[in-house]
Amino acid sequence: MARVLIVYDSQTGNTEKMAYAVAEGVKQVRGVDSEVKKVDRTSLDDLVAADAIIMGSPTYYGQMSARLKAFIDSSEKIHGKLEGKVGAAFTSAGGTASGAETTLLSILQTMLVHGMIVQGRPDDKHYGPASVEAPRPKDAKYCKELGKRVASLTLKLSKHPA
């Protein structure tokens, strides 16, 4: 089975709720399994073992959390080993126009530097889902759609038959 790793940081529980909604979307695709892990319980080996990696963070001053950034910074030890994996991002923010898109782009940028494959979305939420505080039902729907889209792309690209 193809494996999607969902790594998140969350202080208030808002981003954590989004992570589990993403996992629900992954489960909709036969032949793909998901694992949800808080960033401080995730190892670099977990990243290497996954076929796809979806990262979520609260938005702090238009950027990802320090914990997620420190983990990503440590990934220089495995540079080159994430190439070709599917990547995606999601975030929760304290308000509108408060840096959610720059947070998403900062996470996606690190994935591109690793040589990962990032699929955009043409109609809405181009860079990934973002919620204002706790995810509302519509936000959870976008998270589930992200999980399903990443799982489908991962299955198309993986060596794991459905």
What is the arithmetic mean of pLDDT over 30-45? 98
pTM (global) more than 0.85? yes
What is the arithmetic mean of pLDDT over 131-146? 97
d(CA 9, CA 148): 21
Closest CA to 34 of 78, 69, 1: 1
Cβ within 8 Å of residue 45, ≥6 positions away: none
Q: Is-contact 94 131, C-beta < 8 A?
A: no
pLDDT digits (tens, 9 = 90+) for 49-93: 999 999 999 999 999 999 999 999 999 999 999 999 999 999 999
**Rounded alpha-carbon distances, angstroms, from residue 81 to 10, 29, 115:** 26, 25, 9
d(CA 154, CA 89): 15
pLDDT computed for residue 161 by the predictor: 60
pLDDT digits (tens, 9 = 90+) for 111-132: 999 999 998 899 889 999 999 9
Q: Where are the domains of the chain?
A: 2-157
For 2-157, give the CATH class: alpha beta
